[in-house]
């Protein structure tokens, strides 16, 4: 693997050199010849047997949500309703007093990853907590949570919130929280690449987070001219969300993709990424094992059938089957 990584790094450097060449025709022809020279039997100079490529690219435009909050929704918008098991990815931006006041959830997990500022959370069972930049709250709503999520302090507070569906057997589990503080998040730094391992495994290092629906969530930063190859389990769905800078994803000859874009990846065993720009590139690589189950969704309730949704609405209205504490609770 080490040697192969070097090979693709060298080929990349070579190509950038050629791209800066004023003789455009040479640029167009050379990389192809070059790749054939470097090739394995398949004719592809890749460390992967079946490299994942980008099959869908969408810009997440800003929209209003909650109470005065702004979100860039990527998964969950109508062009990309569901990427099994992922229901939603929002990059949220909130300035007090805006926020996400008291609301319920059932049937999935929410992962909140703070990029800037801090958010405080309180729920109807007395759970309270504040997460700051770099911290993660992994919440399993299961059978029911009612909570508020509000920014703390002054100024802009930003982060990512991912909604992961739960399988039918897990939809009604007891609610649970896993909190990871920035200092406890394992990271690896090598050759201009830094990865923070929020869930799953990268570069031989594994996150302690328990994912009921098997999930990987990696936060990569690539310095200028850095390159990385990340394995992804073959049968999983996966996507990239570009947070900052711009990167080349999946194939070296594709156009650089700037911030706030979501990239859905093809099937395959891994992803290669290049930062050809002069600035740092930051992106989240997220993957999960598909549930392959029917999805019935009504706002913050995600079940398998319409009957279960009707039941959930009744449970919430009548404060039962997990929503008992909703009866008298209000956030402070
Ligand atoms: C929700 C509308 C919402 N994205 N990003 C409807 F806005 C929400 C919701 C959030 C949310 C919360 C945070 Cl902290 C970050 C978010 C949507 O709370 F749940 C429904 N049903
Ligand atoms: Fe919520």
Residue 316 Cβ inside 6 Å of ligand 1? The answer reads no
pLDDT at 45: 65
pLDDT at 2: 35
Kindly give the parts of the chain with pLDDT less than 50: 1-44
Distance CA 323, CA 320 (A): 5
pLDDT at 266: 98
Distance CA 233, CA 238 (A): 9
Distance CA 261, CA 77 (A): 13
Select from 98, 103, 129 the residue to mutate for testing ligand 1; criterion: most ligand atoms less than 8 Å from CB: 103
pLDDT at 11: 33
Residue 91 Cβ inside 6 Å of ligand 1? The answer reads no
Residue 66 Cβ inside 6 Å of ligand 1? The answer reads yes
Residue 122 Cβ inside 6 Å of ligand 1? The answer reads no
> Which ligand 1 atom sits nearest the alpha carbon of residue 105?
19
Distance CA 138, CA 140 (A): 7
Distance CA 66, CA 243 (A): 22
């Amino acid at each position: 693997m080490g040697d192969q990584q070097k090979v693709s790094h060298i080929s990349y450097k070579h190509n950038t050199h050629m791209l800066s060449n004023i003789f455009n025709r040479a640029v167009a022809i050379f990389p192809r010849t070059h790749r054939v020279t470097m090739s394995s039997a398949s004719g592809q100079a890749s460390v992967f047997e079946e490299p994942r490529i980008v099959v869908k690219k969408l810009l997440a435009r800003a929209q209003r949500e909650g109470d005065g909050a702004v979100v860039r929704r990527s998964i969950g918008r109508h062009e990309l309703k569901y990427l099994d098991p992922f229901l939603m990815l929002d990059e949220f931006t909130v300035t007090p007093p805006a926020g996400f006041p008291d609301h319920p959830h059932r049937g999935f997990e929410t992962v909140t990853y703070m990029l800037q500022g801090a958010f405080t959370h309180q729920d109807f069972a007395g759970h309270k907590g504040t997460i700051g930049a770099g911290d993660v709250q992994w919440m399993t709503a299961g059978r029911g949570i009612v909570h508020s999520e509000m920014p703390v302090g002054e100024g802009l507070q930003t982060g990512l919130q991912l909604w992961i569906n739960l399988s039918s057997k897990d939809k009604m589990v007891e609610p649970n929280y896993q909190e990871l503080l920035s200092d406890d998040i394992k990271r690896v730094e090598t050759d201009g690449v830094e990865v923070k391992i929020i869930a799953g495994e990268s570069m031989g290092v594994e996150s302690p987070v328990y994912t009921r629906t098997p999930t990987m969530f990696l936060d990569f930063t690539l310095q200028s001219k850095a390159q990385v190859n990340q394995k992804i389990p073959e049968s999983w769905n996966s996507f990239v969300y570009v947070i900052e800078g711009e990167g080349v994803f999946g194939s070296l000859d594709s156009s650089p993709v700037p911030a706030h874009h979501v990239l859905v990846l093809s099937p395959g065993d891994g992803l290669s990424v290049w930062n050809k720009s002069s600035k740092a590139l930051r992106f989240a690589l997220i993957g999960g094992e598909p549930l392959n189950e029917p999805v019935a969704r009504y706002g913050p309730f995600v079940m398998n059938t319409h009957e279960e949704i009707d039941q959930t609405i009744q449970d919430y209205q009548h404060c039962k089957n997990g929503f008992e504490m909703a009866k008298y609770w209000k956030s402070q």
